[in-house]
Amino acid sequence: MKLFLRILFTSIIILNFDQTFSQEFDFHTPIDAPFDLSGTFGEYRSRFHTGIDFKSRGVQGQKIFSIEDGYISRIEINNYGYGKVIYIDHPNGYTSVYAHLKDFSNDIDKFVRGEQYRLRKSTIKKFPQKGKIKVKKGELIGYSGNTGGSFAPHLHFEIRNTETQDALNPLMFNFKYIDNERPIIRGLYLFDRDNELVSKLPLKKQIRRLNDSTYTTGEIEYSNKIGLGIDIYDIQYKNLFNQNGVYKIDLFIDSILVYTFKMDRIKFSQNHYRKIMYDYMSAIKYNRKILKVFTPKNADLSFLKNNNFNGLIDPSEYLNNNVSIRVSDWNNNSSYLNFRIKATDAKDIVTSYDGIEILTNQDYKINKNSSLIEIKKNSFYNDLLLNISYRGDTLNLGEDKDPLRSSIIIRIPQSISDTLELRQSFIARVKNEKIRYISSRKDDSHIYANISSLGKYIISRDSIKPYIKPINFKQNSNVSNRSSIKLRLKDDLSGIRSYNGFLNGKWALFEYEPKSNLIFHKISDGIINKGKNVLLIKYQDGVGNKGVYEATLYF
């Protein structure tokens, strides 16, 4: 018994270490702006959101500070993802992350640009030697921006456990902010969990609001095992219109807490399970973010491990019961959805389904009229039925209703004899009458690619080189009154694969902003000479269509 109690006590300490210990820290604010959040920890994104997003007054250039003493352990510049980002390791065992920056502070920028010129690369990832670039608590490290996969100026801010690199909810670290509003519950959905081989949309139940905290719906009769889902969001305060995620969801049956979803910590290795924690079909078809109030099958999510019950409601166990779902934000503002469930006799309905049964524990090679589909085991999250056809020039893998855990390979037959046409050809996904380029390879009989979703695929061609045009100068311009040289560089089909800029034969750093199809060179880099300068830009798209732009500039 003593050994059991010691193990139990140790487990409790481990489970609560980050949340309890984190309260002892008095971190500096990461941004010189009000704590208005445009994104919360764990909410719906392409993956679970691993930080919080601070609004930056709608502009770029707000000052960004290190929250604590430490050293820069990683720094990146990327055209996508986090854009310009700094990682700082702190002696207390935490790492802070500052993403989508517009610029770094002077000393950091000098180091980064030196590495870019040394490597002749605009995108870099560096891991400075421990302690090489030290920072102090409250020290200016950069300025907020909109780089990478950002769609509005803001700071994406994270705190991680340095040893495990697990993302922790930054609000655990005493960052106070105004939030007096209860979460909003938009809808209740029922998932039929008896036939998991066939994916279908959950059944929506109409709800009504009784007061500022309580919602309800009519009695729910059910005969099969079901899971509950809710469409929810949270606002921080009135006139701040961002619809953020919630912190915690509790499921009660007859006033007994049976299941909890709480966002304190996320392992990056489990981040992809967002695809099945939120209903995939509803997101794809209607852009609805329906969060499951149960543990999806095959979802290895550590933040759900404390539940002894998987959340699925079985009619053999729950015959006539009261159900309550409590939705809470970080500041403990809560809303409730209350209703009754009643088990009924199952109806004998025989339904036939067509398709190839795909089991997650097996490999498959499927041939459809000379097209080939290669599926490795565990490519999907769950077993499913696939309806595959190849007619005309279109390979149809069926409706995009089952998410892929890892990519599969499709091979579409080709008999292209012209070498130029073959080089310019690629596999494209067809959706809503638009095509999307997919990086492809070729052999003597097929064009093939790794794909990450079901749907329709064809062979397409990009025969047009990228478009380039100067923005803030003309041929023979004097640019001495400019801070940068800007050009529009875009490709409407296969995208920009690479580009390089040169001034008087020397490689010059041109930064790239894909969202605005902009490349620009800062004159402060000191590459440009007094007098006459020759600017040369070499570029190519995803299928290798190349171009050269040349201009004469004066400084």
SS3 content of the chain, % helix, strand, coil (to 5): 15, 40, 45
> Considering 122, 151, 173, which residue would you say is the last residue of a domain?
173
302/362 same-domain check? no
User: Could you tell me if residue 348 is inside a domain?
Assistant: no
Pairing of strands 124-126, 94-104: unpaired
The one-letter amino acid code at 296 reads P
Statement: residue 346 has pLDDT above 90 = no
Count of Cβ atoms closer than 10 Å to residue 212 Cβ:
8
**Whole-Å CA distances, 294 to 202, 283, 310, 381, 383:** 14, 18, 6, 16, 19
Pairing of strands 63-65, 496-503: unpaired
Averaged pLDDT of the chain: 93
Q: Calculate mean pLDDT across residues 177-206.
A: 91
> What does the pLDDT read at residue 241?
85
Which pTM value belongs to this model? Answer: 0.92
Give the CATH number, domain containing residue 113.
2.70.70.10
> What does the pLDDT read at residue 234?
96
> What does the pLDDT read at residue 18?
46
Residue bearing the bigger pLDDT, 199 or 324: 324
Token digits for 198?
């066939």
338/189 same-domain check? yes
272/390 same-domain check? no
35/132 same-domain check? yes
Pairing of strands 546-554, 532-541: antiparallel
Q: Could you report the per-residue pLDDT of 273-319, keeping only the tens digit for each? A: 999 999 999 999 999 999 999 999 999 999 999 999 999 999 999 99
Statement: residue 324 has pLDDT above 50 = yes
Place 174 in a pLDDT band, splitting at 50, 70 and 90. confident
Least confident among 23-37, 43-57, 59-73, 121-135:
23-37
406/499 same-domain check? no
29/99 same-domain check? yes
User: Could you tell me if residue 12 is inside a domain?
Assistant: no
User: Could you tell me if residue 6 is inside a domain?
Assistant: no
The one-letter amino acid code at 152 reads A
Place 17 in a pLDDT band, splitting at 50, 70 and 90. very low
Statement: residue 12 has pLDDT above 50 = no
Count of Cβ atoms closer than 10 Å to residue 404 Cβ:
18
Statement: residue 4 has pLDDT above 60 = no
Place 177 in a pLDDT band, splitting at 50, 70 and 90. confident
> What does the pLDDT read at residue 353?
73
194/116 same-domain check? no
433/515 same-domain check? no
Place 1 in a pLDDT band, splitting at 50, 70 and 90. very low
CA–CA dist 375, 356 (Å, integer): 12
User: Could you tell me if residue 281 is inside a domain?
Assistant: yes
DSSP 234: B
> Considering 113, 148, 173, which residue would you say is the last residue of a domain?
173
291/401 same-domain check? no
Statement: residue 14 has pLDDT above 50 = no
Report yes or no: 49 and 245 within 8 Å, Cβ to Cβ. Answer: yes
Pairing of strands 546-554, 477-478: parallel
DSSP string, 279-313: -HHHHHHH---EEESS--TT---GGGTT-SS-S-B
27/46 same-domain check? yes
Residues 6+ apart with CB under 8 A from 459: 393, 412, 414, 425, 426, 427, 428, 447
415/276 same-domain check? no
Place 9 in a pLDDT band, splitting at 50, 70 and 90. very low
User: Could you tell me if residue 420 is inside a domain?
Assistant: yes
Q: What percent of the chain is modeled with pLDDT above 70?
A: 95
Statement: residue 20 has pLDDT above 90 = no
User: Could you tell me if residue 8 is inside a domain?
Assistant: no
User: Could you tell me if residue 208 is inside a domain?
Assistant: yes
188/311 same-domain check? yes
* Burial class of residue 286, CB neighbours in 10 A (0-12, 13-18, 19+): exposed
Half-sphere exposure of 225 (CA within 13 A, CB side): 11
DSSP string, 341-407: EEE-PPP-------SEEE-TTS-EEEEETTEEEEE-TTSBSS-EEE--EEETTEEE---S-S-BSS-
> Considering 461, 494, 510, which residue would you say is the last residue of a domain?
461
What domain range is 491 assigned to? 467-554
Three-class SS state of 541:
strand
Give the CATH number, domain containing residue 486.
2.60.40.1220
Domains of the chain: total: 4
